[in-house]
């Protein structure tokens, strides 16, 4: 799979999401559907967007006992999504079970990406509340290695971590990076950001871009600019 821009469709209803996608006539962006939209609309929203010809990253971050995750992944696989994810904190047994569940009878499966430590978790809280006493960047890299050993395809990480992840887990281990902003754009609530061009330079495989596209005056132009800067 080549480099691509994934548009985070963080909408609360099907109507809002489809009205946004209707603006695109020529291209069919790779779309990320998160918990908000999925819990509001259910699996039918995935089928509907898929039927319109979009690739789909279903961002539901599964984390449960291996058997439950395996069975849930089998359901997501039948939905024909292209990428889905889970928490690496569920351990390698859970990640391996997830892969088994995802794999279709013909051997194909969606890409499976791990979340390491959420960027909303600070090192202080990780130490105080989760009793993990290692520096957070070491924890992130260790979780990425666990995901690679379990056979997963990559991790969600900050663009700032992408190069290190590739160094640690191999060049073909995918880095899916949010926190992308245009050089002349609003940062919003993101803290450590990179432009699409910088994300390309440091080797991100996929960038996940939400508001710089969804809230733009001309979302199609913003998407095209992102693709131009990131894919070239």
- The encoded tokens of residue 146 equal 């666990």
Nearer to ligand C5P by Cβ, of 90 and 212: the residue is 212
Phi, then psi, of 93 in degrees rounded to 5? -60, -40
| CB 191, min distance to ligand C5P, A | 10
Interacting residue ranges for ligand C5P, rule: CB under 6 A: 8, 10, 34, 118-119, 156, 178-179, 188, 190, 208-212
Q: Write out the chain in H/E/C secondary structure.
A: CCCEEEEECCCCCHHHHHHHHHCCCCCCCEEEEEHHHHHHHCHHHHHHHHHCCCCEEEEEEECCCHHHHHHHHHHHHHCCCCEEEEEHHHHHHHHHHHHHHHCCCCCCCCEEEEECCCCCCCHHHHHHHHCCCCCHHHHHHHHHHHHHHHCCCEEECCHHHHHHHHHHHCCCCEEEECCECCCCCCCCCCCCCECHHHHHHCCCCEEEECHHHHCCCCHHHHHHHHHHHHCC
Question: What tokens does 31 get?
Answer: 């779309």
Report the residue number, 151 or 188, with the smaller CB distance to ligand C5P: 188
Per annotation, catalytic residue among 3, 14, 61, 127: 61
CB of 56 to ligand C5P, least distance (A): 14
Cβ 149 to ligand C5P shortest distance, Å = 22
Q: How far is the CB of 171 from ligand C5P (least distance, A)?
A: 22
Active site residue 61: yes
- Distance CA(158)–CA(162), nearest Å, equals 7
Q: Which of 221, 219, 228 is nearest to 200 (CA)?
A: 228
In angstroms, give the least distance from the CB of 9 to ligand C5P.
8
By beta-carbon proximity to ligand C5P, the closer residue of 85 and 97 is 85
User: Which residue number is nearest to ligand C5P in terms of Cβ?
Assistant: 210
Q: Measured from the CB atom, is 97 or 111 closer to ligand C5P?
A: 111
Q: Which amino acids are annotated catalytic?
A: 61
């Amino acid at each position: 799979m080549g480099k691509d821009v994934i548009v985070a469709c963080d909408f609360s209803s099907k109507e809002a999401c489809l009205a946004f996608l209707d603006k695109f006539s020529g291209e069919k962006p790779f779309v990320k559907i998160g918990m908000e939209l999925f819990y509001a609309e259910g699996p039918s929203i995935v089928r509907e967007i898929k039927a319109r010809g979009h690739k789909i990253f279903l961002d539901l971050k599964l984390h449960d006992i291996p058997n439950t995750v395996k069975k849930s992944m089998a359901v997501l696989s039948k939905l024909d999504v292209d990428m889905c994810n889970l928490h690496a904190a569920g351990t390698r047994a859970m990640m391996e079970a997830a892969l088994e569940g995802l794999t279709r009878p013909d051997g194909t499966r969606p890409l499976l990406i791990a979340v390491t430590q959420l960027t909303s978790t600070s090192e202080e809280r990780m130490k105080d509340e989760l009793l993990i006493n290692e520096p957070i960047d070491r924890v992130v890299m260790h979780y990425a290695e666990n995901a690679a050993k379990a056979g997963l395809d990559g991790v969600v990480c900050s663009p700032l971590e992408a190069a290190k992840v590739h160094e640690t887990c191999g060049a073909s281990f995918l880095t899916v990076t949010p926190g992308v902003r245009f050089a002349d754009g609003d940062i919003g609530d993101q803290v450590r950001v990179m432009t699409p061009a910088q994300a390309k330079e440091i080797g991100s495989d996929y960038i996940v871009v939400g508001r710089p596209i969804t809230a733009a005056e001309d979302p199609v132009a913003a998407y095209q600019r992102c693709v131009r800067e990131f894919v070239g």
